[in-house]
Amino acid sequence: MSSIVFLREQYGTHVSAMAAALDAGDVELFGSTLDELVRLREKTLFSDLRRLTVDLQGALERFRLDSRLVDLAEKEVPDARHRLDHVLKLTDEAAHKTMDLVDQSCPLAERTSKGAAELNVLWKQFRSREIAVQDFRGMLEKMDLFLDAAQADTDAVRRNLSEVLMTQGYQDISGQIIRGVMKLVGELEVALGELVKLSSIDTSRKKVDEEPARGFGPVVPGINHGVTVGDQQDVDSLLSGLGL
């Protein structure tokens, strides 16, 4: 129904009656018809207001079901917790491994230092020609043992230190996982901002598309990453299949 037709139906009779009352000079009839017209107009306004309220309620319902929010709350936030748990595990393992290696290395360094200190005393006596023949023989025996032990011990310490350095690689993996969670927190912030606004509900908002060129980050156990390779051997056989 066009609006002019609606207006004619709704108010036509009253307007005609008011025009006739004016022509006839009937002030009383004009006044009472005008009062009725105003009441009618108010009634229409109230019904419009009711409809707006219903619309608003519907919009609020739709907002609650906004797919992005549901996705965030039901899947991505628990996933983020899982990712951060994995970071905890990685850092814990790396810290323990580093401490184990330090624990293994310290006694070796101490043994070398102690052996050098003992020999130093004898060596100084020898250099100042104050050493007895018996002590000199003892020094040579100690020297033989010390040189062998020091070589083995310092080699072991060097290997442990290399291992400690390699263990720090956890920082790279965990840093990448944390960055992913930070991105999610940013998205949550935006979604909650929308909840605060409430007035305009943007249902067109979709999940931000992944950008494969940027990378997906490290594989986290228990989270579906699609088809991934298990280890370096898988990578090698995949690449050799591609002629590389």
Partner 1 sequence: MKFLVVDDFSTMRRIIKNLLHDLGYSNVTEADDGNTALPLLQQGSFDFLITDWNMPGMPGLELLKAVRADTRLKQMPVLMLTAESKREQIVEAAQAGVNGYVIKPFTAVTLKEKIDKILEARPK
> What are the residues binding partner 1 (CB under 8 A)?
162, 165-166, 168-169, 171-173, 175-176, 179, 212-219, 225-229, 231-232, 235, 238-239, 242, 244
Q: Minimal distance in Å, beta carbon 174 to partner 1?
A: 10
Q: How far is the CB of 101 from partner 1 (least distance, A)?
A: 15
Quick one: 152 or 229, whose CB is closer to partner 1? 229
Report how far apart, in Å, the C-alpha atoms of 70 and of each of 62, 66, 77 are: 11, 6, 10
Residues found in the chain = 244
| Residue closer to partner 1, measured from CB, 207 or 225 | 225
Other CB atoms within a 10 A radius of the CB of residue 43 amount to 11
193 or 215: CB nearest partner 1: 215
Q: Which is nearer to partner 1, 23 or 210 (CB)?
A: 210
Q: What angle do CA 150, 154, 160 make, to 5 degrees?
A: 150
Which residue's CB is nearer to partner 1, number 66 or number 187? 187
176: Cα separation from own chain's centroid:
9
Task: Name the minimum Å distance from CB 238 to partner 1.
Answer: 6
Question: Which of 242, 168, 204, 181 shows the shortest CA–CA distance to 67?
Answer: 204
What is the smallest separation between the CB atom of 175 and partner 1, expressed in angstroms? Answer: 6
- Give the span between the Cα atoms of 119 and 98, in whole angstroms: 32
Nearest-10 crossing angle of helices 77-127, 133-167: 160
